Structure 1
Amino acid sequence: MSSATVELDPLMVFIGPNNSGKSIVATVMYAALSRMAIGATARFHNAFRTAYQDIEDDLLFDAEIFLAEAVAKKHKPEFDELPEYIRNIYQESVRLALVEYADTLVEELERVTGTPVNNLRRVQKKSTKASIEIISAHPAWTIHIAISGKSPLVHYKAPLLREVWQLLTHQDWSRIRRRPARARRSFLRDLGVELNRVCFREVPVHSKYLPAARSGLMQSHKVIAGSLLRNSSLAGLRNIQIPTLTGVVTDFLSEVLELEPGVQDSRGFEKEARVLEKEVLQGEIFLTSDAAGNSEILYQTTAGAFPVGRTSSMVSELAPVVLYLRHVLRKGDLLIFEEPEAHLHPATQIVLARNVAKLVNQGLLVALTTHSEFFLQQLNNAIVASSMSEQRAMETGIDPDVRLKASRVSAYLFEPSVAGTVVTRLPVDPLEGIPESSFGLIAEQLYNQNVDLERQLNAAT
């Protein structure tokens, strides 16, 4: 891949032909963002202990007194008011936390892709180089991974504490004030937690991935899990061959298999899950326990309840979407959704696209890959509808909560070339939506071929 720059927006749409790198970019996003959020607090505590242990005891005592007085006054000190030794503790803490994250990122990339990171380069006669860069704007920090024939090289630029401090809000400071002073260094630690939170504030709370193969995985997930469980007792006794699965797939399977029947979090997107059940599935997706106590996913209709493995591809395609909306996803999360249109009739694609627009408006971040003109057109309709009044939009069949502002949408066109794939950010027009040049070209080619066929038939008669 020669060029790919993707910014984190409420809705990110990747379009382009097959084998053009859309899934690779989505997978790299998942690896970077999920690992950044997972363990962020633990990384800070490790870094804090390292920075803290080099400070003399009398200075630590003075630091606690300084912060306790500032908290009691309900006043966040100006950065220049902080004693230098306190600034040193926090500057080193945020630096070490970023370094620890950067050091684990290569391993996470290999896990989610199921291949050594060097294999992510484009295969050509001449060896190529590649790089992955993760950039935060507020506060400013960068991680750069250079991939060549040798071991990957990781470089980073840590945030400046002055900028991190300035981004610490009144609400952040209030959280420190509300915490009881439990120990001598509690103020130092609690303030450090908030500063670390500021460093990664642009990162989604959680990142989840719905892979393109979810229909087949839903059809066979119990078989896969059962096989691994049966063979696990023979580990060490026999040479057990375990099939290699990418981290994206194993995370998806784990998420589904670990769902508990009867447990439902009120913070989920229950309303949208029910819309899919009512308007598309015409039945319900629910969890129960089988005879062995394992979770079982069933599809309930007026004709009875059926295991998802015995249902149509449409049901097994949407079942995990319903389960994620109901049990997994929360406001502020990122959902990476590969080919949402897979195995779905165009009418169903339209319903799902409307639901995606609603979810984005409710605070879910979505990155999706699509080859569907129908799905993209419905998103475009939602964008165009945001430029008119609610009443006029409703007269065209667009509900107010479906309207989607163009400023909340980014679109990327993946175009293969001799040198690799070039990813171009497309303009999203409030009055037209996302350009559909690739789809339009194919439609024109088919139309021209149809005209030629009619001409040949007429000539033959």
Structure 2
Amino acid sequence: MVVLNDKDVRQKTGVILEQKSNLMGEETGMDKKWTLHVENFAKIKSADVTIAPLMCFVGDNNSGKSYLMSILWGILTLGKDIFPKKPSEAKAYKQCESWLKEHLNTETALTDDAIDLYITWFNELLSTQKKALVKKIFNYEVEIEKLKITHYERNHPIKMVWDASASRYSVTGGYIKFPEVEAANREELLRMNAYICWNLLMEGIAAPWYTPVVKGRRNGEPIYLPASRTGFMLTYAQLIENSLQISFSPELQDNTSTLTLPYVDFLQLITKFEINKKDSKKYAKIIEYIEKQMTKGNLSVKKDMMPVIKYQPEGSEKELPLYVASSIVSEISPLLLVLKSGINFNAMIIEEPEAHLHPELQQKMARLLINMMNLGIPVWITTHSDTILQHINNMMKLKNHVRSSELQKEYGYRKEDLLSREDVQMYQFVPDNNGKTHLEALEATKYGFVVPTFNNALEKIVEEVYAFQED
């Protein structure tokens, strides 16, 4: 139980309640940004989400945070499936086809007008297939009226180039490269158009258009760590075994999965866990930070029919099964093992990263999420933690502080711990009187983001503190 005296109240209310307006940065940390617009989707009346290197969803329970994050994940993961297999006669596609035919074998900058052609085509595909896409993501028919991409922007221009010596399509830096062609038929034009469209929207945040399978490992797909990951980590063997029985037993064919696709994907991710020191070098500092500052021990994986995960506490020579380890170990094990396995992913989505964590560890979790973002991995979270959000505010303030270098040394922070305002988007789900919610972008000043959902609850608690104090 926390007891607040008058001094505690002033300090606590001064943390978040002093924040009030907004100054948008000119760039995000990614090379592109776009906004996902949805209307009448499940509980959500309307939402406009502009992707960013670090994105946070806050709001009441059952307000739609996981729904919206799941559909973002679904578009990045399944978006390639909505492209047609044969050349289309639709107007939006024919305009892309005509533009490409005019620019074959010619180095060409993709102007805003040209990019708009491809965004319009993608939106038409989303519109006609949104119900099927949503059903695939949620394993259930969820209401959705509108789904589209808007407000596309790039930090740097992109060109289409042609190479006589090239044998395949490629994308690098500010170029989309194709082999030179003498004459392209409609099937070839479709393949090139789909490649252009996908890379304009998804390059660097989703899997590449052509995704080679290397020893069954993932190649760039975004990772989704669900809120119930501890339960999955303790029961994955049984869950996967049951799934295989349903797949191969004729008498069980009528059974359908009761999991959404992000959860199924998470189970499949667990089967890829291993220890890969070579491919995990990129995350060496974060791995060390987790094991020394959070789990206080090492996680190992033995590859069998399914991974066997063991935890070795620091100072001990004994390895423990995951189910007898502390909840912090099982909770953070998926993130740690993703990094230790060297799994290739281009974005990380985490529901409630604060789950099972003491406030001190919540702050450390926020620190490692910022570290991941500063390595170039977009990190998108849903959260109920004012501690995580306050740390985000603190790191934005520290970066711009007149004594930043001095304070970094004093409090043990480094460059990779700091955060630019333009790299962050924060959204709150706001309920209406009809049981629906809409999404609001939260404001920020030099003090950080205003978070009404936390402020309102805190004000109520503070009011009770004063009311219940004896004279």
Asked if 1:173 is matched to 2:161, the reply is yes
C-alpha separation between the residues in 1 aligned to 2:87 and 2:393? 46
Q: Give 2:264's match in structure 1, choosing from 246, 250, 258.
A: 250
Q: Which amino acid aligns with 1:247?
A: L
- 1:196, CA displacement in angstroms? 3.3
How does 1:274-313 map onto structure 2 within 5 Å?
274-290=288-304, 293-301=305-313, 302-313=316-327
Asked if 1:270 is matched to 2:313, the reply is no
Asked if 1:111 is matched to 2:136, the reply is yes
C-alpha separation between the residues in 1 aligned to 2:283 and 2:128? 35
Q: Is the CA contact (8 Å cut-off) linking 1:383 and 1:433 kept in structure 2?
A: yes
C-alpha separation between the residues in 1 aligned to 2:371 and 2:67? 27
Taking a change above 3 Å as real, the CA distance of residues 448 and 242 of structure 1, as seen in their structure-2 partners, is same
How does 1:358-377 map onto structure 2 within 5 Å?
358-377=371-390
Which is worse superposed, 100-109 or 363-372?
100-109
| DSSP 3-state at the match of 1:117 | coil
Q: Which amino acid aligns with 1:258?
A: K
- 1:117, CA displacement in angstroms? 2.2
Q: Is the CA contact (8 Å cut-off) linking 1:44 and 1:93 kept in structure 2?
A: no
C-alpha separation between the residues in 2 aligned to 1:396 and 1:225? 45
Asked if 1:450 is matched to 2:465, the reply is yes
Q: Give 1:334's match in structure 2, choosing from 347, 352, 365.
A: 347
C-alpha separation between the residues in 2 aligned to 1:204 and 1:306? 36
C-alpha separation between the residues in 2 aligned to 1:408 and 1:115? 34
Identity %: 24
Alignment partner, residue 424 of structure 1: 440
Which is worse superposed, 260-269 or 337-346?
260-269
C-alpha separation between the residues in 1 aligned to 2:362 and 2:194? 43
| DSSP 3-state at the match of 1:4 | strand
- 1:352, CA displacement in angstroms? 0.8
* More helix as a share of residues: 1
Q: Is the CA contact (8 Å cut-off) linking 2:109 and 2:157 kept in structure 1?
A: no
Taking a change above 3 Å as real, the CA distance of residues 239 and 167 of structure 1, as seen in their structure-2 partners, is closer
Q: Is the CA contact (8 Å cut-off) linking 1:47 and 1:92 kept in structure 2?
A: no
Alignment partner, residue 25 of structure 2: none
C-alpha separation between the residues in 2 aligned to 1:300 and 1:396? 30
Asked if 1:219 is matched to 2:234, the reply is yes
Q: Is the CA contact (8 Å cut-off) linking 1:30 and 1:207 kept in structure 2?
A: yes
Q: Which amino acid aligns with 2:416?
A: D
Alignment partner, residue 423 of structure 2: 408
| DSSP 3-state at the match of 1:336 | strand
C-alpha separation between the residues in 2 aligned to 1:371 and 1:326? 27
Q: Is the CA contact (8 Å cut-off) linking 1:380 and 1:432 kept in structure 2?
A: yes
Consecutive unaligned residues in structure 2, runs of 5 or more? 1-43, 95-100, 168-178, 207-220
C-alpha separation between the residues in 2 aligned to 1:4 and 1:209? 21
| DSSP 3-state at the match of 1:9 | coil
C-alpha separation between the residues in 1 aligned to 2:455 and 2:118? 52
* More strand as a share of residues: 2
Q: Is the CA contact (8 Å cut-off) linking 1:47 and 1:94 kept in structure 2?
A: no
C-alpha separation between the residues in 1 aligned to 2:332 and 2:148? 32
Alignment partner, residue 314 of structure 1: 328
Taking a change above 3 Å as real, the CA distance of residues 427 and 240 of structure 1, as seen in their structure-2 partners, is same
- 1:198, CA displacement in angstroms? 4.6
- 1:392, CA displacement in angstroms? 2.9
Q: Is the CA contact (8 Å cut-off) linking 2:351 and 2:382 kept in structure 1?
A: yes
Q: Is the CA contact (8 Å cut-off) linking 2:53 and 2:378 kept in structure 1?
A: yes
Asked if 1:353 is matched to 2:353, the reply is no
How does 1:115-126 map onto structure 2 within 5 Å?
115-118=140-143
Alignment partner, residue 153 of structure 1: none
Task: Provide the TM-score with structure 2 as the length reference.
Answer: 0.70
Post-superposition Cα deviations, 1:88-133, rounded to whole Å, max 9, x if no partner, equal xx99999777655654443231122232023xxxxxxxxxxx5333
Taking a change above 3 Å as real, the CA distance of residues 100 and 260 of structure 1, as seen in their structure-2 partners, is farther
Q: Is the CA contact (8 Å cut-off) linking 1:268 and 1:329 kept in structure 2?
A: no
Taking a change above 3 Å as real, the CA distance of residues 183 and 424 of structure 1, as seen in their structure-2 partners, is closer
Taking a change above 3 Å as real, the CA distance of residues 25 and 97 of structure 1, as seen in their structure-2 partners, is closer
Q: Is the CA contact (8 Å cut-off) linking 1:269 and 1:325 kept in structure 2?
A: yes
Bigger radius of gyration among the two? 1
| DSSP 3-state at the match of 1:277 | helix
Q: Is the CA contact (8 Å cut-off) linking 1:384 and 1:433 kept in structure 2?
A: yes
Taking a change above 3 Å as real, the CA distance of residues 112 and 239 of structure 1, as seen in their structure-2 partners, is closer
Task: Provide the TM-score with structure 1 as the length reference.
Answer: 0.72
C-alpha separation between the residues in 1 aligned to 2:349 and 2:334? 13
Alignment partner, residue 243 of structure 2: 228
- 1:367, CA displacement in angstroms? 1.5
Taking a change above 3 Å as real, the CA distance of residues 47 and 210 of structure 1, as seen in their structure-2 partners, is farther
C-alpha separation between the residues in 2 aligned to 1:298 and 1:252? 19
| DSSP 3-state at the match of 2:46 | coil
C-alpha separation between the residues in 2 aligned to 1:370 and 1:226? 31
Q: Is the CA contact (8 Å cut-off) linking 2:277 and 2:340 kept in structure 1?
A: no
The Cα RMSD (Å) is 3.8
Post-superposition Cα deviations, 1:237-272, rounded to whole Å, max 9, x if no partner, equal 457645511111111111112335548635753331
- 1:346, CA displacement in angstroms? 0.9
Consecutive unaligned residues in structure 1, runs of 5 or more? 55-62, 80-86, 119-129, 141-165
Post-superposition Cα deviations, 1:195-236, rounded to whole Å, max 9, x if no partner, equal 334542577223221111111111111111122334544x22
Q: Which amino acid aligns with 1:445?
A: K
Post-superposition Cα deviations, 1:136-155, rounded to whole Å, max 9, x if no partner, equal 44489xxxxxxxxxxxxxxx
C-alpha separation between the residues in 2 aligned to 1:28 and 1:94? 18
Alignment partner, residue 46 of structure 2: 3
Post-superposition Cα deviations, 1:371-410, rounded to whole Å, max 9, x if no partner, equal 1111111111111111125413413443221110111111
